[in-house]
Amino acid sequence: MIGANIEKIRQQLPGHVKLIAVSKTKPIELLREAYTAGQRAFGENKVQEMVAKQPLLPADTEWHLIGHLQRNKVKYIAPFVHLIHAVDSMSLLDTIQKEAAKNNRIIPVLLQVYIAKEESKFGLDEVELLQLLHSVTGQSHPNVSIQGLMGIATNTSDNTIIEREFTGLKNTFEQIRNHIQNYPALNAATFTILSMGMSNDFHTAINCGSNMIRVGSLIFGERQYIVHTE
Ligand SMILES: *Cc1c(COP(=O)(O)O)cnc(C)c1O
């Protein structure tokens, strides 16, 4: 069932688009099923959950942290995380630098840019993004590799809004790439990832230039959140 879902999505993806299977809230058995079907990249949005699941899948599994990350939790994922998608401040980048150095590794990250009209309180606006990119250097952050941008579109059925937001992020991404020499920490060989698109909007995202999509419910089914009652 999960294998078939993954296969169906894969058949719709151009070769340059990478699929992240978003497994947040889902039990490890379902991740194993996806792994058996050949899926290697998994996305989680909670540090505790990722840390609990990581030892239960084979070592070649890629763990992508896709949600907001608190600085005091970076140390738990620093030894193994494959890509942090949602870096949105210099202070978080500083902490990732420190924890990556302690683990003697270079941690790849994406900068989250705020593109939606509403919702998400997280992400940099364009001015903050460029400020941050001007201030990071290879000397200040030798253990961090900034590999691209990530965005979440407005949750709407109006495709023209989604298209406008994704196209805006794609343009920002290309502008940075076209002036890559202005940004001391970046280089064209590694600043290559544009992470946008989820279950409901990944086709639009790919048409707008995405090369990494984060898909949960289309693979694993709808998520059920536990409602706490007194
Ligand atoms: C949950 C989540 C997804 C996947 O959402 P689906 O609609 O289930 O595909 C993608 N990206 C982020 C940042 C998420 O939190």
As a three-state string, the secondary structure of 16-57 is: CCEEEEECCCCCHHHHHHHHHCCCCEEEECCHHHHHHHHHHC
For ligand 1, atom 15, name the residue with the nearest CA.
67
pLDDT at 227: 62
Across the chain, the runs of DSSP E, i.e. the strands, are 18-22, 41-44, 62-65, 83-87, 107-112, 144-150, 193-195, 212-215
Q: How far apart are CA 219 and CA 20, in angstroms?
A: 10
Q: 45 CA distance to ligand 1 centroid (A)?
A: 9
Question: Are 143 and 179 in contact, with CB atoms under 8 Å apart?
Answer: no
Q: Tell me if 151 CB under 6 Å of ligand 1.
A: no
Residue (of 125, 123, 127) closest to 110 by Cα position: 123
pLDDT at 160: 97
What would the two tokens of residue 87 be?
Answer: 């870096």
What would the two tokens of residue 159 be?
Answer: 């495709």
Ligand 1 atom nearest 223 alpha carbon? 8
pLDDT at 151: 97
Q: What is the mean pLDDT of the chain?
A: 95
Chain segment 133-191, per-residue pLDDT in tens: 999 999 999 999 999 999 999 999 999 999 999 999 999 999 999 999 999 999 999 99
pTM tops 0.85, yes or no: yes
- Classify the phi-psi angles of 221: left when phi > 0, otherwise alpha if psi is within -120 to 50, otherwise beta: left
